[in-house]
Amino acid sequence: MRAWVLDESPGRYRFGTVEPPPPANGEVSVRLVASALNHMDLWLTRGLPKPVTPHVPGADGAGVVTAVGEGVEGVAVGDEVVVNPAVSCRRCATCLAGESPLCPSFGILGEHRWGTHAEEVLVPAANVVPRPAALDWPEAAAYGLCFLTAWRMLRRARLRAGEVLLVVGVGGGVSSAGLVLGRAMGAQVFVTSRDEAKRQRALALGAAGAFDSGGEFAVAADVVFENVGAATWASSLRALAPGGRLVTCGGTAGSKVEISLPRLFFKQHEILGSTMGSYAEFEQVTKVVAGGVPVVVDEVVDGLHRLPEALVRLESGQQLGKIVLRH
Ligand SMILES: [Zn+2]
């Protein structure tokens, strides 16, 4: 099959040919109609992290099942599906307790195994769900990783209807998912961005207010939703209301931060880490988007072969929402 391949990391992707094996026990093969970009696609080329090579990138995708392995039930050739990028053993005590992101064998499609920037992808049958009828192919390909991550973050932060949510750095896919999911959960959502056009787009998506990421955030937030890191950390903590929870899934602008302990304990703040999500959370968030929560797609690029220019757009940081390749 045709695929984007990384022969060494750090390195550059080449558009080449690789031969995936037929589906093993419990696996299915999916012919991808669309795949979505994530920052992981860039980090892999810098050796952060270093995948086993040769490697095929791409965490997100949607397509049609072309083959099923032994023992697969409930998925058939011809099914239109969305791929869940969070893969775990589904058998250990952690997985059975519904906490598969903590499974010792947890892995992400396109990082720990071959991904979706290819004609076909091989995944456990448990990692596909029927494509919601309300979503077109680019939307179906776009929501997986970001909406799953944002959904678990909001659950871990125990966001409730009526609370104030502050989404810091609203341009990225996880953050824009945080905005629309927070709105759907009944929160009043404020956002930050360095970019005036993105602040305006966020307001159009229902944000109650928008701040410049470089200044102070004039809000008392019950939940602060972070993945920027060092560049916004101090302002994010100052924006937390007493008893507030800050949840983070990344540090794209610096990973070393400071915490003032008196502020932490006097105000009884909580700082929570979160990553990806469980199988149950993927099913939940699929129902949420099937119910009409908008999947924000910034741009659809036609042609699997056009990954490099889509990556340039991703790296420029000009997007609000997801960049999708239609294969
Ligand atoms: Zn497990």
What is the 244 CA–ligand 1 centroid distance (Å)?
Answer: 31
What is the 293 CA–ligand 1 centroid distance (Å)?
Answer: 30
Question: pLDDT digit string (tens) for 250-296?
Answer: 888 888 999 999 999 999 999 999 999 999 999 999 999 999 999 99
Segments making up each domain of the chain, as ranges: 2-143+295-326, 148-273
What is the 283 CA–ligand 1 centroid distance (Å)?
Answer: 18
CATH 3.90.180.10 assigned to domain 2-143+295-326? The reply is yes
Question: pLDDT digit string (tens) for 188-226?
Answer: 999 999 999 999 999 999 999 999 999 999 999 999 999
Helix (H, G, I), strand (E, B) or coil at 271: strand
Question: pLDDT digit string (tens) for 142-188?
Answer: 999 999 999 999 999 999 999 999 999 998 889 999 999 999 999 99
What is the 99 CA–ligand 1 centroid distance (Å)?
Answer: 8
What is the 88 CA–ligand 1 centroid distance (Å)?
Answer: 5
What is the 280 CA–ligand 1 centroid distance (Å)?
Answer: 14
What is the 104 CA–ligand 1 centroid distance (Å)?
Answer: 6
What is the 261 CA–ligand 1 centroid distance (Å)?
Answer: 35
What is the 73 CA–ligand 1 centroid distance (Å)?
Answer: 20
Question: pLDDT digit string (tens) for 71-123?
Answer: 999 999 999 999 999 999 999 999 999 999 999 999 999 999 999 999 999 99
DSSP labels for 188-249? Answer: EEEEEES-HHHHHHHHHTT-SEEEETTS---S-EEEEEE-S-TTTHHHHHHTEEEEEEEEES
What is the 105 CA–ligand 1 centroid distance (Å)?
Answer: 6
Residue 132 has pLDDT above 90, yes or no: yes
% of the chain with per-residue pLDDT over 70: 100
Domain 148-273 has what CATH class? alpha beta
Distance CA 306, CA 127 (A): 26
List b or e across 286-298, with b for residues whose CB sees 16 or more CB atoms inside 10 angstroms.
bebbbeebbbbbb
Sequence-distant (≥ 6) Cβ neighbours of residue 196 within 8 angstroms:
none
> Which residues hold their Cβ within 5 A of ligand 1, which is an ion?
88-89, 92, 95, 103
Decide if 288 contacts 146 (C-beta within 8 A). Answer: no
Exposed, middle or buried: residue 197 (CB in 10 Å: 0-12, 13-18, 19+)?
A: exposed
